[in-house]
């Protein structure tokens, strides 16, 4: 099949290359011509494990193309996939300006029957609205389908080629059949449903996962007060197959380009329908508070944070990605700076993106985890990159000014830190406080 993808970001680029990998002829279009030039020159605009190899193969074999002009590639496309961003507006609602622009562009260009597949995460009812928008512009025959995306950054290629399920929202049989045929080779269950239910499956899934995270984080906070260990608790809970072990890891809360925006958007979707989604509002509030636990722990360990030097390991919202959108590190850095701390940061791949988001001259940018830790009063692990898990903790003790480790992701064991002689502040577990630390 001939497929055009509009929007060559995390979702569009990965989806496009994976459709090409299935043997289709795919053109990825983006209005950002720098991105397209980079891709045409063999570069990859995002960090995503395994992506460059599969892009190179499909370009070489003549199945994958990149363009910054939609009109050059749309005419003979059977399917046009929209994968543009839907960021949050200040009130939490999804900003649909990019979707609307893409839909208008398509409507002005199509000349024969085309399937328009919306992969971006959009509020319930958007596909119907876009249907009306196109009908107002062109008399050419078309169908709109909703194909929400469930990939996770960091494992995006694997997730796209081996999804848990494929959801297709369609109101007519013809596009439902074409989209089913397109996704059948992936071997996953395919759910064909109406447009509104498909849109809701995406939001409900993300809201549920966010709820699991905030739930275990609240359990962690209680564990700290009553002397239980949240890792043991989560393990004991997760073995129950009705609960499941995934997304039950206590930490500093979720971030990224999806959970924060999709939870807020679903609260708005509910509100617009006169429903107060109390549970999800609490999930969002708990998540915001959870980030500040790092600051509370530092304060317990060091007292006043003014003029204290704090090393932060990890800036990406999770390992395996350079994405820092809504990363807990952003709020943590800002809070530390506002309290007068000196902040030294390091992340293996997300430094540049972070610099673009939080460009504060007071931040000390370092070249590795050791340079960040050197002579710092404490180190905080914010993103559980493998290289941080493997550090020699005795060497860390000797590198720090004060042997204090705030583990925002619970990656070390009590035995490891005891052996190294480090004061340890994990999440939802007993803290280990050595006597040699000086408060000021």
If the CB atoms of residues 213 and 363 are measured against ligand NAD, the closer one turns out to be 213
Buried b (16+ CB within 10 A) or exposed e, 112-144: eebbbbbbbbbbbebbbebbebbeeeeeeebbb
If the CB atoms of residues 159 and 194 are measured against ligand NAD, the closer one turns out to be 159
If the CB atoms of residues 46 and 379 are measured against ligand NAD, the closer one turns out to be 46
Q: Find the length of the chain.
A: 440
CB of 104 to ligand NAD, least distance (A): 9
DSSP E strands in 32-134: the ranges are: 64-67, 79-82, 114-118
DSSP category for residue 84: -
If the CB atoms of residues 102 and 400 are measured against ligand NAD, the closer one turns out to be 102
CA 27 to chain centre: 25
CA 418 to chain centre: 34
CB of 439 to ligand NAD, least distance (A): 42
Binding site for ligand NAD (CB under 6 A): 6-12, 29-32, 35, 83-86, 98, 101-102, 120-121, 149, 151, 153, 257-258
If the CB atoms of residues 40 and 174 are measured against ligand NAD, the closer one turns out to be 40
DSSP category for residue 243: T
CB of 432 to ligand NAD, least distance (A): 36
Torsion over CA of 52, 57, 59 and 62, rounded to 10 degrees? -170
- Can 28 be counted among the known catalytic residues? no
Token pair 């630390």 is at which residue?
Answer: 437
Catalytic residue among 18, 73, 223, 258: 258
| Whether the Cβ atoms of residue 428 and residue 223 lie closer than 8 Å to each other | yes
CB of 84 to ligand NAD, least distance (A): 4
CA distance 121 to 119: 6
Residue 33 token pair: 């011509």
If the CB atoms of residues 77 and 231 are measured against ligand NAD, the closer one turns out to be 77
Nearest to residue 102, comparing CAs of 45, 160, 29, 44? Answer: 29
CA distance 169 to 195: 4
Beta bridge partners of 274: none
CB of 258 to ligand NAD, least distance (A): 5
CA distance 35 to 69: 13
CA distance 276 to 78: 41
Residue 49 three-state SS: coil
Which residue number has the CB closest to ligand NAD? Answer: 9
**Residues classed as catalytic:** 258
């Amino acid at each position: 099949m001939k497929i055009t993808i509009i929007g060559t970001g995390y979702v569009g680029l990965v989806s496009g290359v994976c459709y090409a990998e299935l043997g289709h002829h795919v053109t990825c279009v983006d209005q950002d011509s720098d991105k397209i030039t980079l891709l045409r020159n063999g570069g990859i605009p995002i960090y995503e494990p395994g992506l460059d190899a599969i892009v190179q193969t499909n370009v070489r074999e003549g199945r994958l193309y990149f363009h910054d002009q939609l009109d050059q590639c749309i005419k003979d496309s059977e399917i046009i996939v929209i994968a543009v961003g839907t960021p949050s507006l200040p009130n939490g609602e999804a900003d649909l300006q990019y979707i609307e622009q893409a839909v208008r562009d398509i409507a002005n260009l199509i000349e024969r029957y085309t399937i328009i597949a919306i992969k971006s995460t959009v509020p319930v009812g958007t596909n119907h609205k876009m249907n009306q928008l196109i009908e107002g512009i062109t008399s050419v025959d078309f169908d709109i389908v909703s194909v929400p995306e469930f990939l996770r950054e960091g494992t995006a290629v694997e997730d796209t080629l081996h999804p848990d399920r494929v959801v297709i929202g369609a109101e007519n049989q013809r596009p439902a059949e074409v989209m089913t045929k397109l996704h059948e080779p992936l071997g996953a269950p395919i759910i064909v449903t109406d447009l509104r239910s498909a849109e809701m499956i995406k939001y409900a899934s993300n809201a549920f996962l966010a709820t699991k995270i905030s739930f275990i984080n609240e359990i962690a906070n209680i564990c700290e007060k009553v002397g239980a260990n949240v890792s043991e608790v989560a393990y004991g809970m997760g073995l129950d197959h009705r609960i499941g072990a995934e997304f039950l890891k206590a930490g500093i809360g979720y971030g990224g380009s999806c959970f924060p925006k999709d939870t807020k958007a679903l609260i708005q979707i509910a509100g617009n329908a006169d429903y107060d989604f109390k549970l999800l509002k609490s999930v969002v509030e708990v998540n915001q508070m959870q980030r500040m636990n790092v600051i509370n722990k530092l304060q317990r360990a060091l007292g006043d944070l003014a003029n204290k030097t704090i090393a932060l390991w990890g800036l990406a919202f999770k390992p395996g990605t350079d994405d820092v959108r809504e990363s807990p590190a952003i709020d943590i850095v800002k809070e530390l700076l506002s309290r007068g701390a000196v902040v030294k940061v390091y992340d293996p791949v997300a430094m540049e993106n972070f610099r673009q988001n939080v460009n504060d001259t007071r931040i000390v940018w370092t070249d590795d985890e050791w340079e960040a830790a050197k002579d710092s009063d404490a180190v905080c692990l914010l993103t559980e990159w493998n290289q941080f898990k493997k550090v020699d903790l005795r060497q860390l003790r000797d590198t720090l000014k004060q042997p204090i480790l705030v583990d925002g992701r619970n990656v070390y064991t009590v035995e490891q830190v005891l052996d190294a002689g480090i004061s340890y502040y994990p999440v939802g577990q007993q803290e280990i406080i050595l006597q040699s630390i000086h408060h000021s």
